[in-house]
């Protein structure tokens, strides 16, 4: 059972519990009908939305292989965590609310883009999994269940009807430490068992060696850079480096996302677009993306949603549940 299914089961159980009070009521059959309708609304709304989205965006694949790992890497000014947030939102929108986003950056950018309430999830979840705060030589066993994990990873006020992304992240204002490389390596495989996809926002390449660790576990890598000459140069230098960590051809595992900047010129849009050796897609400018406030899928401009769906389709190609692609070596 996935994390998404577990929360829908919780809603179904809550609705069906209404029946207990009507055992002696003459109209209990009517009560049962009402309760069953309430219990099924979560599943029906969810299924209709997924079918509608996949019909509208025919390029999106069906069910992904559980735990498919997508890592987003960016230049210092590339809009990395904004792209990571949009990719996670698109996956959650069209593949169900069991997409996990992981923020391992020092600045908490992905947390700010996705969290709808204060307090992070990294400390309680890592502790609950027996990864953070465990005594040396301890069992490191998880004492949590799927429902508990969902509660702590859904950083939103609406835990039943939301299609928001699950988020493993620290609140930068809380003072809790960032996720370390060894914690990431221990936690993500466990959480990935219940997630259709894991989208990780890697820190700046110059900040911490955890970036290389995270990239090394990825099925796919998205490189994010500004759509100008300097951005193309950074991407061109970064592709072979990422390829050496993945130990697979970049052409099949790396996608480049080009982000517009105020300094971009029409000529820049023709520089280096086909010279990276990987699929390269340009994202449009969208006022909703300016700043660092939380993002919601429906607030994005239609052309932005189309561009992000095209990016996601390129990234997850080959990661379908029946795609047969081998897992990356860790």
Q: What is the dihedral of CA 96, 98, 104, 109, to 10 degrees?
A: 40
Helix orientation angle between 80-95 and 28-56, rounded to the nearest 10 degrees? 130
Q: Is residue 157 part of a domain?
A: yes
DSSP structure string for 165-195: PEEE---GGG-PPPPPHHHHHHHHHHHHTS-
Does some domain include residue 73? yes
Residue 101 confidence (pLDDT): 95
pLDDT for position 162? 46
Residue 167 in any domain: the answer is yes
Q: Is residue 326 part of a domain?
A: no
Question: Which distant-in-sequence residues (6+ apart) come within 8 Å of 267 by Cβ?
Answer: none
Range of the domain at 97: 68-316
pLDDT value, residue 117: 75
Q: Is residue 247 part of a domain?
A: yes
51 part of a folded domain: no
Crossing angle of helices 146-153 and 3-16, rounded to 10°: 100
Rounded (10°) CA dihedral 237, 239, 240, 244: 130
Q: For the purposes of burial, counting CB atoms within 10 Å of the CB of 27, is it exposed (0-12), middle (13-18) or buried (19 or more)?
A: exposed
Give the number of other Cβ atoms within 10 Å of residue 274's Cβ: 7
Q: Is residue 4 part of a domain?
A: no
- Paired with 71 in beta bridges are 200, 221
> What does the block give as tokens for 96?
């169900």
Q: What are phi and psi of 245, to 5 degrees?
A: -75, -40
Return the DSSP state at 64.
Answer: B
pLDDT at 38: 44
- Closest among 108, 117, 68 to 85, alpha carbons compared: 108
Whole-number pLDDT of residue 185? 95
pLDDT at 36: 45
Residue 125, domain CATH? 3.40.50.300
Which pLDDT score, from 0 to 100, does residue 175 have? 83
> How far apart (Å, rounded) are the C-alpha atoms in residues 86 and 212?
23
Looking at residue 35, its pLDDT comes to: 43
Q: Which residue in this structure is represented by tokens 């204002």?
A: 173
Distance from C-alpha of 138 to C-alpha of 135, rounded to nearest angstrom: 5
Total domains in the chain come to 1
In a domain, 276, yes or no: yes
Determine contact, residues 199/100, Cβ cutoff 8 Å.
yes
Q: How far is CA 68 from the centre of its chain?
A: 10
User: CA 96, 4, 219 angle in degrees (round to 5)?
Assistant: 65
Is residue 74 within 8 A of residue 231, CB to CB? The reply is: no
Enumerate the H helices of the chain as residue ranges. 3-16, 28-56, 80-95, 109-114, 122-128, 146-153, 181-192, 210-216, 229-246, 250-253, 302-316
Predicted confidence at residue 41, as pLDDT, reads 46
CB 60 within 8 A of CB 313: yes
pLDDT in 10s for each residue of the chain, 330 residues: 555 555 455 444 544 443 344 344 444 454 445 444 444 444 445 444 544 444 455 566 667 888 999 999 998 777 999 999 999 999 998 877 789 999 998 788 999 999 877 788 999 999 999 999 854 444 455 567 778 888 888 866 544 444 578 999 999 888 888 899 999 999 999 999 888 899 999 988 765 568 999 999 999 999 999 998 888 899 999 999 999 999 899 999 999 999 998 755 555 554 455 578 999 999 999 999 998 889 999 999 999 999 999 999 999 998 887 655 545 544
Which pLDDT score, from 0 to 100, does residue 156 have?
60
Burial 38-48 (b: 16+ CB within 10 A, else e): ebeebeeebee
């Amino acid at each position: 059972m996935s994390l998404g299914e577990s929360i829908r089961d919780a809603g179904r159980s809550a609705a069906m519990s209404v029946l207990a009070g009507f055992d002696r009521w003459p109209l209990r059959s009517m009560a049962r009908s009402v309760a069953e309708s309430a219990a099924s609304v979560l599943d029906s709304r969810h299924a209709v939305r997924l079918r509608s989205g996949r019909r509208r965006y025919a390029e999106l694949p069906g069910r992904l292989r559980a735990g498919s790992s997508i890592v987003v890497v960016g230049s210092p000014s590339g809009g990395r965590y904004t792209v990571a947030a949009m990719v996670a939102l698109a996956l959650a929108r069209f593949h169900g609310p069991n997409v996990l986003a992981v923020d391992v950056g020092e600045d908490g950018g992905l947390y700010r883009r996705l969290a709808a309430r204060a307090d992070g999830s990294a400390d309680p979840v890592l502790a609950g999994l027996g990864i953070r705060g465990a005594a040396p030589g301890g069992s490191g066993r998880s004492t949590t269940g799927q429902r508990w994990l969902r509660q702590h990873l859904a950083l939103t006020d609406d835990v039943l009807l939301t299609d928001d992304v699950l988020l493993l992240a620290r609140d930068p204002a809380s003072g809790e430490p960032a996720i370390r490389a060894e914690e990431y390596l221990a936690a993500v495989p466990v959480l990935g068992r219940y997630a259709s996809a894991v989208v990780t926002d890697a820190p700046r390449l110059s900040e911490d060696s955890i970036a290389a660790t995270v990239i090394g576990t990825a099925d796919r890598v998205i490189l994010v850079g500004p759509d100008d000459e300097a951005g193309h140069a950074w991407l061109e230098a970064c592709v072979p480096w990422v390829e050496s960590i993945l130990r697979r051809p970049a052409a099949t595992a790396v996608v480049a996302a080009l982000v517009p900047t105020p300094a971009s010129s029409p000529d820049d849009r023709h520089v280096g677009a086909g010279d990276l050796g990987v699929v390269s897609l340009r994202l449009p400018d969208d006022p909703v993306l300016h700043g660092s406030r939380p993002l919601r899928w429906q607030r994005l401009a239609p052309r932005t949603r189309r561009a992000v769906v095209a990016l996601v389709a390129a990234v997850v190609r080959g990661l379908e549940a029946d795609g047969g692609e081998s897992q990356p070596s860790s």
